[in-house]
Chain A
Amino acid sequence: MIRMENVHKAFGPNRVLQGMNLEVPRGTSMVIIGGSGTGKSVALKCVLGLIRPDSGKIYVDGKDAADTGDRDAFLARFGMLFQGGALFDSLPVWQNVAFRLLRGSLKRPTDEAREIAIEKLRRVGLKPDVADRLPAELSGGMQKRVGLARAIAAEPEIIFFDEPTTGLDPIMAGVINELIREIVTEMGATAMTITHDMTSVRSIADNVAMLHGGVIQWTGPVAQMDDSGDPYLDQFIHGRAEGPIEAVR
């Protein structure tokens, strides 16, 4: 389980998180929605320790994420799909997918790591002949799939998805959404996704949280999202220019 308690983070005068509280029960899929620049990515990066919060606490399975002791072991529990894929462009696809399996505490023999990489690529709908290509030779959708394969390669307990469908055509976005849902369900993983794509939200989420003004404005099961009565959430999910959230024209 992931629990964020009163997390604050500012970059200079820009106060991004202003007391964020959130709970993600184990084995569930939480989707955080919110406008651009509301701090969704910052929240994810705080959990992973990529960004240190100014104050507040983050607990993963009851343990303080800032005081993990063995950082390698802590991070080995996570997988992350980055918005732009963040594939290492100097390495072929299979080495990207098997990155964690080729070094560090989860190191396996090269042949075995390659086999696992090819199996994960197949899981996300890519053929084995993609394995030896470089990321730059792949389309955006294929790169996203490779990123997804890398995120699940070491079978993590917790998976983060940062804008998984941004930049994809609607059909490819649908495919990625389905893949994420299937993978999270079959692995029994805890998932945290950030997006502003409402189709993604409805496909992936068990629970939804809306981040606005540095705090969680509304949170609840996805089924209750449409009847929340929260004017902020309503404006966002219906994409209205008029409402409590100021839209810059």
Chain B
Amino acid sequence: MSPLALLARLGRLALSVLASFGRVTLFALDAVSHILRPPYYPRELAIALLNIGWLSLPVVGLTAIFTGGALALQIYAGGARFNAEAVVPQIVAIGMVRELGPVLVGLMIAARVTSSIAAEIATMKVTDQIDALVTLSTHPMKYLTAPRVLAALITVPLLVGIGDIIGIMGGYTVAVQNLGFNAAAYLQNTVDFLETRDVVSSLVKGAVFGVIAALMGCYYGMNSGRGAQGVGRATKGSVEAAAVLILAANFVLTGVFFSI
């Protein structure tokens, strides 16, 4: 391939990435404007709150408890190399609350919620249900996207908070049952060590990741190609985009909250 052709290909790639970024940004702004403007669809919001929040609790709880337990074992084993086994409560707390809680909940939501939103909306698109909504004087962004994004904004921070607590309790259980820690001292150390900033960063990350997860599901669903293959591609693309954006946003937010 000649250098010029390579350059042209790079240029096309850069343009296509920028165009996609622009389309997603416009879609996000449109979603926000529909969240703010009436009419509102409380029934759709209630269903989205149930699906995204309540029904994600089991998977979030299980992910958090196993991660917290494994984290305690790792910190204990690693700390033992330089006689620092006692820091398990502090590191589990900071690890769960600052990083693992929000990131793992975000990724689980991307797997569970983004995929289901994308598949549902994409199927609606390929079966003309989106066009049917328009002919029935109902804006698809308002009826489908706004309730889901708002529900994710409300529930994912709560899920992250719950995940943080369950993760810490997973570490606590392993530390007290297997590693010989004193129960009261473990909890005291955890509470003393955590700062408000840690908790706020966790919840803010949860809100941002939730919005990313719901937006990607809706965006890929609304822009799905035709047929079963279109639905499959939309679902796959939505989860990939949500996961990568969540990890990238995590890096940026960690920098914002904790760079001195």
Chain A positions within 8 Å of B, measured between CB atoms, are 45, 48-50, 71-72, 75-76, 78-80, 82-84, 86-89, 99-100, 103-106, 150
Docked complex Cα distance between A75 and B39 (Å): 16
- Is B127 a contact partner of A99 (Cβ separation < 8 A)? no
23 CB-based A-B contacts, threshold 8 Å: A48-B134, A48-B135, A49-B134, A50-B131, A50-B134, A50-B135, A72-B137, A75-B135, A76-B137, A80-B132, A80-B135, A82-B132, A86-B129, A86-B131, A87-B129, A88-B124, A99-B138, A100-B136, A100-B137, A103-B39, A103-B41, A103-B138, A105-B137
Chain B proximity of A140: nearest CB distance (Å): 13
Interface assignment of B192: CB less than 8 Å from any CB of chain A: no
Residues of A within 8 A of B131 (CB): 45, 50, 82, 86
- Is B138 a contact partner of A82 (Cβ separation < 8 A)? no
* Most A C-beta atoms less than 10 A away, residue of B124, B134, B135: B135
Minimum CB distance partner of A73 in chain B:
B137
Interface assignment of B195: CB less than 8 Å from any CB of chain A: no
**Option from A50, A71, A89, A99 in Cβ contact (under 8 Å) with B136:** A99
Minimum CB distance partner of B132 in chain A:
A86
Chain B proximity of A3: nearest CB distance (Å): 20
Chain B proximity of A100: nearest CB distance (Å): 5
- Is B132 a contact partner of A88 (Cβ separation < 8 A)? yes
Supply 9 further A-B pairs (C-beta < 8 A) apart from A84-B127, A104-B39: A48-B134, A50-B134, A86-B127, A87-B129, A88-B129, A88-B132, A99-B136, A104-B137, A105-B137
Residues of B within 8 A of A103 (CB): 39, 41, 138
Docked complex Cα distance between A178 and B250 (Å): 61
- Is A78 a contact partner of B135 (Cβ separation < 8 A)? yes
Docked complex Cα distance between A28 and B15 (Å): 50
Residues of A within 8 A of B133 (CB): 88
Docked complex Cα distance between A89 and B124 (Å): 9
Residues of A within 8 A of B128 (CB): 82-84, 86
Residues of B within 8 A of A71 (CB): 137
Docked complex Cα distance between A134 and B260 (Å): 57
Minimum CB distance partner of A151 in chain B:
B135
Chain B 133-146 near chain A by CB (<8 Å), digits 1 or 0: 11111100000000
Residues of B within 8 A of A48 (CB): 134-135
Task: Enumerate the 4 nearest inter-chain pairs by beta-carbon distance, A residue then B residue, closest first.
Answer: A86-B128, A86-B132, A75-B137, A80-B135
Within 8 A of A (CB), among B107-141: 124, 127-129, 131-138
Docked complex Cα distance between A88 and B127 (Å): 10
Residues of B within 8 A of A104 (CB): 39, 137-138
Residues of A within 8 A of B136 (CB): 75, 99-100, 150
Residues of A within 8 A of B129 (CB): 86-89
Chain A proximity of B189: nearest CB distance (Å): 48
Chain B proximity of A61: nearest CB distance (Å): 18
* Most A C-beta atoms less than 10 A away, residue of B39, B124, B137: B137
Chain B proximity of A208: nearest CB distance (Å): 24
Docked complex Cα distance between A72 and B135 (Å): 9
